[in-house]
């Protein structure tokens, strides 16, 4: 399950990396509601009922509020289960588990290398398609795009009307200059300038996940938010993750 959790966070982390980079603009804080659920597809026939029920439990419907923090030197995402911090100066990711007060640390360059052929496949397959559709979501006028990675379609409703979008976009453009190796993944370069993600939807193996922006504000964030708290113990991360 640790492998599944790590792979589950890879795409949003990569997207964050390609959007956010150090630059002296205002701090942002936003909250999104994430709902997920569905029925797993392609389960092997003849599975013992107990095993089947355990697997089905992983696909139970969930709803939670996710907190996001962005400043010139890092980003942070808080969910019910874990906290993900990315520091931009050395492109290092920390994933914290508050329930056990442990964390793993990984250099983004090591993550990309450990993905092996998967990174190349993402690079070759990632495409963004404009649909021309528009809709107002939670008061924001949005345009619909389809982000396709490794054959999986992700619906992206993007808006330029959100609070702090100028800061968001300046950071994106700065990153295109300073981190060209992430531009080759094909995501940020194609999404840059199109808007802030107000609503996103994706389906993988029968599980549908929807993320909807609830509120966003410009604020001043404490540097303590981007530090591993005292008392947390580092644990090893088994790489390569593609094996």
pLDDT tens digits along 151-187: 788 899 999 999 988 888 776 665 555 544 444 333 4
Closest to 213 measured CA to CA, from 136, 147, 145: 136
- Whether the pLDDT of residue 1 is over 50: the answer is no
pLDDT tens digits along 184-239: 333 444 677 789 999 999 887 777 889 999 999 999 999 999 999 999 999 987 65
Q: Give me the residue spans of the domains in the chain.
A: 2-234
pLDDT tens digits along 70-93: 887 888 999 999 999 988 778 889
* Fold of the domain built from segment(s) 2-234: outer membrane lipoprotein receptor (LolB), chain A (2.50.20)
pTM across the whole model: 0.75
How many other CB atoms are found less than 10 A from the CB of residue 110?
Answer: 17
| C-alpha span between 72 and 74 (Å, rounded) | 6
- Whether the pLDDT of residue 128 is over 90: the answer is no
Closest to 196 measured CA to CA, from 153, 154, 166, 175: 166
- Go through 186-219 and write b for each residue having 16 or more CB atoms within 10 A of its CB, e for each that does not: bbbbbbbebbbbbbbebbeeebebbbbbeebeee
């Amino acid at each position: 399950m640790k492998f599944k959790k790590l792979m589950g966070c890879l795409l949003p982390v990569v997207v964050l990396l390609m959007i956010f980079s150090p630059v002296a603009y205002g701090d942002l804080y936003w909250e999104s509601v994430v709902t997920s659920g569905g029925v797993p597809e392609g389960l092997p026939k003849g599975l013992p009922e107990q095993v089947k029920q355990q697997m089905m439990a992983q696909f139970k419907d969930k709803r939670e509020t996710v907190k996001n923090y962005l400043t010139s030197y890092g980003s942070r995402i808080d969910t019910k289960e874990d906290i993900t911090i990315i520091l931009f100066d050395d492109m290092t990711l920390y994933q914290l588990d508050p329930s056990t007060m442990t964390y793993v640390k990984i250099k983004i360059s090591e993550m990309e290398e450990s993905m092996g052929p998967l990174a190349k496949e993402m690079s070759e397959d990632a495409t963004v398609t404009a649909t021309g559709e528009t809709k107002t979501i939670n008061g924001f006028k949005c345009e619909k795009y389809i982000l396709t990675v490794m054959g999986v379609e992700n619906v992206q409703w993007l808006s330029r009307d959100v609070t702090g979008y100028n800061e968001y976009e300046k950071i994106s453009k700065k990153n295109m200059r300073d981190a060209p190796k992430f531009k080759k993944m094909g995501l940020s370069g194609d999404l840059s300038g199109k808007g802030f993600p107000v609503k996103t939807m994706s389906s993988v193996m029968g599980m549908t996940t929807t993320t909807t922006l609830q509120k966003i504000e410009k604020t001043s964030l404490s540097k303590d938010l981007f530090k591993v708290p005292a008392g947390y113990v580092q644990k090893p991360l088994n790489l390569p993750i593609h094996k």
